[in-house]
């Protein structure tokens, strides 16, 4: 754990962080903000990673041990539709407006150049685009 420069305070989970420079000791996964998916579809990054929601900002969340039965069925259902659903993505993007240079693009977000599996338009995320 690198020390934070300056006077930032490392704090665990809990109530509202008082300061703007508060950092989390355990760089936990970022909280999701799902509302309609109940965190039981791949829209939810927690669910997509088979993680329970923890300290998330979701509403109507069922991705928790309290809903183990529902959650397990949702996982099974998702996997039955797509056996690769819970495997690391490698499918390629289909961006049309971001030039694959914004985080809307999964390739860009992953720090990977677009490849043969991508079907993007106006892509600028290719080998040689780095100055």
Enumerate binding residues for DNA (CB under 7 A).
32-37, 39, 41-45, 48, 78, 81-82, 85, 89, 91, 93-98, 100, 102-106, 109
Interacting positions 75-104 with Zn ion (CB under 5 A): 93, 95, 100
Instruction: Reduce the DSSP state of residue 80 to 3 states and report it.
Output: helix
Closest by CA to 31, choosing from 50, 48, 45, 10, is: 45
Supply the minimum distance, in Å, between the C-beta of residue 67 and DNA.
15
Considering only 35, 48, 61, 85, the residue that binds Zn ion (CB under 5 A) is 61
| Residue 75: exposure state from Cβ atoms within 10 A (0-12, 13-18, ≥19) | middle
10-11 and 23-24 as β-strands: parallel, antiparallel, unpaired? Answer: parallel
The distance from CA 77 to its chain's CA centroid, rounded to whole angstroms, is 20
Binding window for Zn ion (CB under 5 A); candidates: 6-14, 16-24, 30-38, 78-86: 30-38
Q: Rounded distance, CA 63 to CA 74, Å?
A: 9
Output DSSP code: residue 23. Answer: E
Binding window for Zn ion (CB under 5 A); candidates: 5-13, 16-24, 25-33, 74-82: 25-33
114 binds, among DNA, Zn ion, none (CB under 5 to 8 A by kind): Zn ion
**Of 11 and 31, which has the nearer Cβ to DNA?**
31
- Which runs of consecutive H residues, i.e. helices, occur in the chain? 45-48, 68-81, 106-110
Residue numbers of the site for Zn ion (CB under 5 A)? 32, 34, 39, 44, 46, 53, 56, 58, 61, 63, 93, 95, 100, 105, 107, 114, 118, 120, 123, 125
């Amino acid at each position: 754990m690198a020390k934070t420069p300056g006077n930032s305070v490392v704090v665990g989970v809990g109530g509202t962080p008082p300061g703007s420079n508060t950092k989390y000791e355990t760089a936990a996964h970022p909280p999701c903000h799902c509302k309609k998916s109940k965190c039981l579809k791949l829209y939810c990054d927690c669910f997509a990673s088979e993680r329970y929601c923890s300290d998330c900002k979701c509403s109507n969340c069922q991705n928790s041990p309290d809903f183990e039965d529902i959650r397990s069925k949702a996982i099974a259902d998702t996997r039955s539709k797509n056996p690769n659903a819970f495997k690391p993505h490698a499918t390629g993007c289909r961006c049309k407006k971001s030039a694959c240079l914004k985080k809307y693009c999964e390739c860009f977000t992953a720090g990977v150049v677009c490849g043969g599996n991508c079907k993007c338009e106006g892509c600028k995320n290719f080998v040689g685009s780095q100055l």
